C-alpha cells in the first residue's frame, strides 16, 4: 500500500481548513499552497475530489476561499485519504472486487486482511481535531 501525494496533500488541505475553523473565515488555495510550499495547480485538482464529499463551503470574490462545513472532529482521516486515493488496501487479495480462486486455501490471506483492517481502523479512529 502506498499513500501518494494526492492523499497526503488532501489531508494537508483539510488540516489547514481545520486550523481556521474557529476563526470562521475563508482560506484560499493560494494561502494553503504558500503555507505548505505546494503547487497550487495540484491542490486545485485535489480540491475537486474533496468538493464532491461536501467537506467544505466555498465562496468567490475578494474574501473568498474555502472553510470547513463542520467541526474538525467530524472528519475522519481515513475518509479524507480514501476520498483522494480510493480504497486503502494493502494487497490486491483484500480488495472487495478481487475474486482470488485460492483465497480459502491461502495461508497468508488472513495476515494481509487483518493488517488491512488495522490500517483502516486506525485511520478511521483519528480525526482532524486529533491532528490539531
pLDDT for position 100: 76
User: In the CATH scheme, what is the code of domain 5-131?
Assistant: 1.10.10.10
Q: What percent of the chain has pLDDT over 90?
A: 66
Residue range 82-130, pLDDT digits in tens: 999 988 888 888 877 777 777 778 898 889 889 999 999 999 999 999 9
The full set of domain ranges for the chain reads 5-131
Q: How far apart are CA 81 and CA 101, in angstroms?
A: 30
Q: How far apart are CA 27 and CA 36, in angstroms?
A: 13
Amino acid at each position: 500500500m502506498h499513500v501518494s501525494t494526492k492523499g497526503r496533500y488532501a489531508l494537508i488541505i483539510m488540516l489547514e481548513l481545520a486550523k481556521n475553523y474557529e476563526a470562521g473565515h475563508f482560506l484560499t488555495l493560494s494561502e494553503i499552497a504558500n503555507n505548505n510550499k505546494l503547487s497550487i495547480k495540484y491542490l486545485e485538482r485535489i480540491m475537486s475530489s474533496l468538493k464532491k464529499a461536501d467537506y467544505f463551503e466555498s465562496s468567490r470574490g475578494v474574501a473568498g476561499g474555502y472553510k470547513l462545513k463542520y467541526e474538525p472532529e467530524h472528519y475522519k482521516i481515513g475518509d479524507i485519504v480514501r476520498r483522494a486515493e480510493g480504497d486503502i488496501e494493502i494487497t490486491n487479495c483484500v480488495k472487495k472486487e478481487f475474486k482470488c480462486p485460492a483465497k480459502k486455501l491461502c495461508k497468508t490471506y488472513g495476515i494481509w486482511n487483518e493488517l488491512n483492517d488495522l490500517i483502516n481502523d486506525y485511520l478511521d479512529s483519528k480525526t482532524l481535531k486529533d491532528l490539531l
